Amino acid sequence: MMRLCTRIAGRRGYNALTSGVLLGIFLAGTAPSSVVAQDVESATSVEATAEVESQGFFEIVLSGGPVGWGIMFLLFALSVTSFYLVIDQLITIRRTTLMPEGLAEQVQQLLAGGQVRDADEVCRSRPSFLSFVLVHGLSEVDGGWTAAEKALEDALAEQAARLLRKTEYLSVIGNIAPMVGLLGTVMGMIMAFQRVAVTQGSAGAADLAEGIYQALVTTVGGLIVAIPSLGAFAIFRNRVDQFVAEVAYLAQQVFVPLKRRSGKTVRSGKSPPAPPAR
């Protein structure tokens, strides 16, 4: 009996030892494979992250597809138009262009001497905002100060509207550009969610995020066009208001001799007071 127990115990110990050795060999064989798999996954994620980070702004724009290209081309056209308008306004809305130096004083001296025709020729030889207003006032000199003042006001309003008309285009571009960019973003997001729906949810969050950030590029482009356009519009609008006020003041000063003569005529034309009734 003792021998039998010894044999059984020996066999059990041998089996336990064998099982332990086999388990150790199995764990030693599987551990490196799991570590290698984790390393491969981490390396793949790092490479994908590096690829996303390495994309520049223009690469993202080019990856937007035909819709993104069309929206960005439209925004580019708006930016070129805005740039042209800014250059044109910088050349046009200047004091030396709108109010040539010495013109007001020369016309005032001629008008004080009664040389209306000479004053008109001087104005026509130096075309500008101020000369346009003065020519209209000189054309109504025969009607007196009231008629000349009305002609000055009408000409001033006409020229001010002409200057502001081009400036308003900058405001239009500044308001349209963000809407165009937002349209591209909405269309891009619709296409991104459609991709998820077509794949029945197999597209992951990374695919959805890629479509969304590509779509947001058009909104950025719209803001890049809109912000300078609105800033330029505000600056040029203030300059136009300032110069219109200065032209109105100069025109009033030029016609002071006519205003004085009209006042003298009115005073000299008063009838003497009637004698008191008896």
Residue 124 contacts residue 116 (beta carbons within 8 Å): no
The CA distance from 249 to 237, in Å, is 19
DSSP-based helix, strand, coil % in the chain, nearest 5: 85, 0, 15
CA distances from 242 to 149, 182, 238, 262 (A): 20, 36, 6, 30
Q: What is the pLDDT of residue 272?
A: 41
Residue 232 contacts residue 170 (beta carbons within 8 Å): yes
pLDDT in single tens digits along all 278 residues of the chain: 444 344 444 444 444 444 444 444 444 444 444 433 444 344 444 444 444 455 555 565 555 567 778 888 999 999 999 999 999 999 999 999 999 999 999 999 998 888 889 999 999 999 999 999 999 999 988 888 889 999 999 999 999 999 999 899 999 999 999 999 998 888 888 877 777 777 766 666 666 666 676 778 888 899 999 999 999 999 999 999 999 999 999 999 999 888 887 655 444 444 444 444 44
CA distances from 140 to 116, 243, 251, 262 (A): 10, 24, 14, 13
Count of H-run helices and E-run strands, the chain: 10, 0
The CA distance from 222 to 184, in Å, is 10
Q: Rounded to a whole number, what is the largest CA-CA distance in the chain? A: 173
Q: Which residues contact 108 (CB under 8 A, 6 or more apart)?
A: 253, 254, 256, 257
Under DSSP, the state recorded for 63 is T
Structure tokens that stand for 267 in this block: 């005073």
Q: Which residues contact 259 (CB under 8 A, 6 or more apart)?
A: 145
Structure tokens that stand for 145 in this block: 């100060």
Structure tokens that stand for 260 in this block: 């004085």
* SS3 of residue 274 by DSSP: coil
